[in-house]
């Protein structure tokens, strides 16, 4: 369930974004920005925005009123504004805002306190605590889940522990996995209750060994493919990795967030532009050139990220004075392959690598003459 939710969050959240990187040095100070794309270390964002907004940082506090989709991603996310749709991911996601339509949230800890959701809510995390008003259905997947407030639709939960707090009102049906520990408080109102067999646990019991072996084989195959492609690039285009290093000599959270945002934009918008080009007929040739570049970037994404990752570890982790291209590539790709084997998190890591790689590749093909300036208000 976690993977599906994350795919939704990262798949439909970036359409026609106006790119501009923002850095906020003072976490406590006032910070208002009216750009649709904001990224930095500690970021505070406010104001009225029209369109799809992308907000990212190590710590993100947003009171923005967004007339459109809000995508927020950070280690710690604090939202208190309003948006038409909400897509949020982080270690901690705290929502005290109004979402006019649907909300999608993924994180280790998800807290919605006195929030107002106009339609469906989807959330996946280790600990989920929801309170407020929920106009339609709520679908949750986690370890520990607690609910309070008014739920006008159905509530579907798959978790280890479920607690319905005192005074909670669920007008629809409460459905949960039969092996969950459920505690229902006093003065609660629930339309109906039913249980279901957890598909994940059933599949894990039946196919745990086979699934792991399949993942291991897939990871090894991906590692081998990326390594061969990387070695070909080193042989045929030896200056490419030097240019990549020069363009990313100083890797920071803000620069990584920028590359991720650009890569995510490329991942979504390129196929749309391809289809539009086919429809207009006169743009058919340009569309196929665009799609060729798109496919090349996807194939090279893991190679670019793996090289930079391996180089950073050799130079900073092992204190090497010089990092060879092949050694950097081998180490980086090996680490990515091992991380991809981690249940649930592995899929997230693979997606992050893809978006980062697309952003790096896009920057190599279409470099800016000047670095984007940080904006502080």
Average pLDDT over residues 135-164: 94
User: How many percent of the chain have pLDDT more than 70?
Assistant: 78
Quote the crossing angle between the two packed helices 239-247 and 345-365, to the nearest 10°. Answer: 100
Residues facing residue 35 across a β-bridge: none
Q: Between residues 286 and 199, which one has the greater pLDDT? A: 286
Handedness of CA 135, 137, 143, 146 (dihedral sign): positive
Structure tokens that stand for 309 in this block: 């990752």
Structure tokens that stand for 173 in this block: 């049906």
Strand, coil or helix: 276: helix
- Note whether 77 and 88 are within 8 A (CB): yes
The span from the CA of 104 to the CA of 50, in Å, is 20
The tally of CA atoms less than 13 A away on the side-chain side of residue 47 is 16
Phi, psi (rounded to 5 degrees) for 294: -60, -45
Phi, psi (rounded to 5 degrees) for 101: -120, -120
Confidence (pLDDT) at 213: 56
- Note whether 185 and 165 are within 8 A (CB): yes
Work out the pLDDT band at 232, boundaries 50, 70, 90. confident
Q: Distance from CA of residue 191 to its chain's centroid?
A: 35
Range of lowest pLDDT (178-182, 234-238, 302-306, 320-324): 320-324
Number of other CB atoms surrounding residue 48 within 10 Å:
11
Confidence (pLDDT) at 5: 37
Work out the pLDDT band at 2, boundaries 50, 70, 90. very low
| Domain boundary assignment for the chain | 2-197, 207-365
């Amino acid at each position: 369930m976690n993977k599906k939710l994350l795919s939704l969050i990262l798949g439909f959240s970036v359409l026609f974004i106006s790119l501009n990187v923002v850095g906020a040095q003072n976490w406590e100070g006032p910070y208002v920005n009216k750009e649709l794309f904001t990224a930095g270390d500690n970021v505070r964002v406010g104001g009225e925005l029209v369109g799809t907004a992308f907000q990212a940082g190590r710590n993100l506090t947003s009171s923005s009123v967004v007339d459109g989709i809000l995508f927020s991603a950070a280690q710690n996310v604090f939202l208190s504004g309003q948006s038409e749709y909400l897509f949020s991911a982080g270690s901690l996601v705290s929502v005290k805002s109004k979402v006019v339509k649907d909300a999608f949230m993924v994180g280790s800890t998800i807290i919605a306190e006195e929030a107002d959701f106009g339609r469906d809510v989807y959330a996946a995390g280790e600990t989920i605590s929801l309170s407020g008003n929920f106009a339609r259905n709520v679908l949750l997947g986690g370890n520990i889940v607690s609910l309070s407030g008014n739920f006008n639709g159905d509530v579907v939960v798959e978790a280890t522990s479920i607690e319905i707090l005192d005074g909670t009102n669920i007008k629809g049906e409460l459905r949960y996995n039969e092996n969950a520990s459920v505690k229902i408080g006093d003065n609660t109102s629930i339309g109906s209750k039913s249980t279901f067999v957890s598909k994940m646990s059933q599949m894990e019991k039946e196919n745990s060994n086979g699934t792991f072996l399949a993942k291991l084989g897939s990871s090894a195959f991906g590692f081998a493919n990326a390594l061969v492609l990387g070695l070909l690039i080193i042989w045929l285009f030896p200056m490419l990795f030097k240019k990549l290093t020069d363009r990313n000599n100083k890797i920071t959270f803000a620069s990584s967030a920028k590359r991720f945002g650009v890569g995510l934009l490329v991942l979504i918008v390129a196929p749309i532009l391809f289809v539009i080009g086919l429809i207009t007929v006169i743009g058919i040739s340009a569309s196929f050139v665009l799609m060729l570049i798109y496919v090349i970037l996807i194939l090279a994404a893991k190679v670019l990220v793996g090289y930079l990752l391996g180089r950073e570890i050799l130079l900073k982790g092992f204190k090497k004075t010089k990092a060879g291209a092949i050694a950097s590539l081998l180490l980086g790709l090996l680490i990515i392959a091992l991380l991809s084997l981690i249940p649930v998190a592995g899929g997230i890591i693979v997606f992050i690598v893809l978006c980062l790689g697309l952003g790096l590749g896009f920057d190599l093909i279409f470099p800016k003459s000047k670095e984007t300036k940080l904006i502080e208000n």
